[in-house]
Structure 1
Amino acid sequence: MNTYFISGLGADKRIFSRLKLHRSINITHVEWINPLRKELLSEYAKRLSEIIDTSEKFALVGVSFGGMIAVEIAKILNPILTIVISSTIQSNTLPPLYQFAGKLKLLEIIPSWLIKSSNRLT
């Protein structure tokens, strides 16, 4: 089964590197694309979902912000399974500090290479 893995913003596909999965699972790592100005999360997820092959059954796995994106994609494409890890399903359930940081639009200001980690977990 095709399974699409979506990392968090401060991580990349290496976060999934230690997973031991059954050989029947075809892994595709979804690469982030640049958001458009004033683009809603649902619109971004729709654009990101264009790489997904819907002609076969598929699953989504998302970590952190990738989990939120996986949920949005699931609303559009109806996978057989969506796994959300260390995330929230709705942005209004984020801790207040994260909501505040989102309102400041820090991710538009800070270059992505500054928040990407290369430690053993991410």
Structure 2
Amino acid sequence: MSSKHLYLISGLGADERVFQQLRFPDGYEVHFLPWITPQPHEPISSYAARMAAGITADGQVSLAGLSFGGIMSIEIAKLRPIHQTILLSSIKQTSEKPAYFNWIRRLQLTKLPDFIIFQNRTRIVEYYMDVSSPEEKQLLRDYLARKDYAYSRWAFDVILNWENEFRPQNLVHIHGDKDHPFPIKYLQPTHIIRNAGHFMVYNRAVEVSQILAEVLS
């Protein structure tokens, strides 16, 4: 029997700790696929190809991507065989992009200086991520303390301008109905977690793990 592998891709600026509350079904080897440094103005297709090179396991490969990691999971699925693509608090096609993306793009807000975009953003990000416990807030502040601004700007532009109609086979989309960055009114997820926000992978991990057990069985 061939081995089964699940690769996890975190959200923008996050790492494998964001998945630490999840429990995965037996029979899978679980790996974390880390973000890499983008080249200046690198298109998402090129970046996805370089990131996909980190998938080295033999056997059946599935992907689970959180937020921006979900977008990257779809881009990787365009390039290599993926058994199942699982989106967590993410979007899967152009029509699911929220309306406020257009305002950010038109106003060119991502071109503002670093000190305006990245300083004093903690409270706003805590609200949008829907974090509440001290542990969640500390984890988020650890991420925000990083000063990889070039990567963040690249990722913002990629997300705002992402266009996609491709749907991978065996696509699963798990979403909270209180998600702020990607409001559910624009989406058609396969699974909805009630009263869950963008950080549901951490603070609603029991429900997310139950769905993962169902879809990966």
Residues 76 and 35 (structure 1 numbering): CA distance in 2 closer, same or farther, change over 3 Å?
A: same
| 1:82 aligned residue | 85
**Using CA pairs below 8 Å that are at least 6 residues apart, which structure has the higher relative contact order?**
1
Letter in 2 for 1:79: I
Q: Aligned ranges for residues 50-65 of structure 1 at < 5 Å?
A: 50-53=53-56, 55-65=58-68
Q: Aligned ranges for residues 29-68 of structure 1 at < 5 Å?
A: 29-53=32-56, 55-68=58-71
- Relative to the length of structure 1, the TM-score reads 0.79
Q: Does 1:14 align with 2:17?
A: yes
Q: Does 1:24 align with 2:43?
A: no
CA RMSD in angstroms comes to 2.8
Which protein shows a greater Rg? 2
In structure 1, C-alpha distance between the alignment counterparts of 2:95 and 2:65, rounded to whole Å:
18
- Relative to the length of structure 2, the TM-score reads 0.47
CA contact (8 A) 2:5 2:57 kept: no
Aligned-residue sequence identity (percent) comes to 32
Residues 42 and 91 (structure 1 numbering): CA distance in 2 closer, same or farther, change over 3 Å?
A: farther
Residue 100 of structure 1 deviates from its aligned partner by 4.8
CA contact (8 A) 1:54 1:77 kept: no
For structure 2, the residue ranges without an aligned partner over 5 or more in a row are 126-136, 141-198, 204-217
Partner of 1:76, secondary structure, is coil
